Chains A and B, each alone.
Chain A
Amino acid sequence: MNTFLNLTVYGLSDGAILALAALGFVLIYKATGVINFAQGELLLIGAYTLYAAFVVFRLPMGVAVIIGVVFAILLGLVIERLILRPLVGENAISVIMVTIGLAALLRAVVQMIFGTRPVPQPALLPRTPIELLPGTSVPANRLLVILIAAIVLTAFTMFFRRSRHGIAMRAVADDQQAALTMGISVRRIFAMAWALAALSALVGGILLGDVTEVSGRLASFGLFVFPVVILGGLDSVPGTIVGGLTIGLTYQYVSGYGDPGLAQIAPYLLLLAILLVRPYGLFGETRIERV
Chain B
Amino acid sequence: MQKQRWAVAIAAATTLALTGCAPDSATTGGESDGPIKIGIIADLTGATGDVGTPYNEGMLGYIDWINAEGGIDGREIDATSKDYAYDVPTAERLYKEYINDGAVAIQGWGTGDSEALMNKVAADELPFMSASYAEVLTDPAEAPYNFVVAPTYSDQMRVALNWISEDAGGQAEVAMFHNDSPFGLAPLADGQSWISDQGLDLNMKPYPMPAGSANYVGLLSQAKQQGAKYIVIQNVSSPAAQVAKDIEAQGLDMKIVCLNWCADEQFVDTAGPASEGHVLVQPFAPITADMEGHQVIEEYLTEKGSSLADEGLHYAQGWYTMHIMAEGIKAALEEGDDLSGAAIREALETMGAIDTGGVVGAGEVEFSEDSHRGSTSTGIYVAKGGEMEPLETGVTPE
Contacts and interface: CB of A to CB of B under 8 A. Distances in A.
B393 interface: no
A221 B208 CA distance: 18
A177 interface: no
Contact of B221 (A7, A117, A137, A139): A7
Contact of A212 (B45, B221, B242): B242
Given A137-B250, A255-B219, A260-B209, 5 more contacts: A212-B214, A216-B49, A256-B219, A261-B180, A264-B210
Given A221-B212, A261-B180, A255 B218 contact: yes
A264 B248 CA distance: 24
The 3 closest A-B pairs by CB, nearest first: A255-B218, A261-B208, A256-B218
Nearest to B184: A261
A111 B213 contact: no
A224 to B, nearest CB: 8
B217 A6 contact: yes
B50 A208 contact: no
A18 to B, nearest CB: 9
12 contacts: A1-B224, A1-B252, A117-B266, A120-B269, A127-B248, A137-B251, A220-B211, A253-B218, A257-B218, A260-B208, A260-B209, A263-B213
A279 interface: no
B214 A17 contact: yes
B222 interface: yes
A74 interface: no
Given A6-B217, A252-B217, A256-B222, A1 B53 contact: no
B211 A129 contact: no
Interface in A243-272: 251-257, 259-261, 263-264
B215 to A, nearest CB: 5
B250 A6 contact: yes
A213 interface: yes
Contact of A259 (B44, B208, B215, B266): B208
Given A6-B250, A120-B269, A263 B212 contact: no
Given A118-B50, A118-B238, A260 B210 contact: yes
B207 interface: yes
Contacts of B258: none
Contact of A6 (B212, B214, B221, B242): B221
Interface in A181-228: 208, 211-213, 215-217, 220-221, 223
B192 interface: no
Interface string B235-248: 00010011001001
Contact of B238 (A7, A217, A253, A254): A217
Interface of A: 1, 3, 6-7, 10, 14, 17, 111, 115-118, 120, 127, 129, 137-139, 142, 208, 211-213, 215-217, 220-221, 223, 251-257, 259-261, 263-264
A116 B219 contact: no
A208 B208 contact: no
Nearest to A265: B210
A15 to B, nearest CB: 10
Contacts of B45: 111, 116
A260 B218 contact: yes
B221 A256 contact: yes
B213 A255 contact: yes
B210 A255 contact: yes
A142 B214 CA distance: 11
A256 B270 CA distance: 24
Nearest to B217: A10
Nearest to A215: B238
A213 B242 contact: yes
A116 B218 contact: no
B217 A256 contact: yes
B4 interface: no
A212 to B, nearest CB: 5
B14 interface: no
A223 B225 CA distance: 31
B18 interface: no
Contacts of A116: 44-45, 49-50, 53
Contacts of A115: 53
A211 B242 CA distance: 9
Contacts of B241: 213
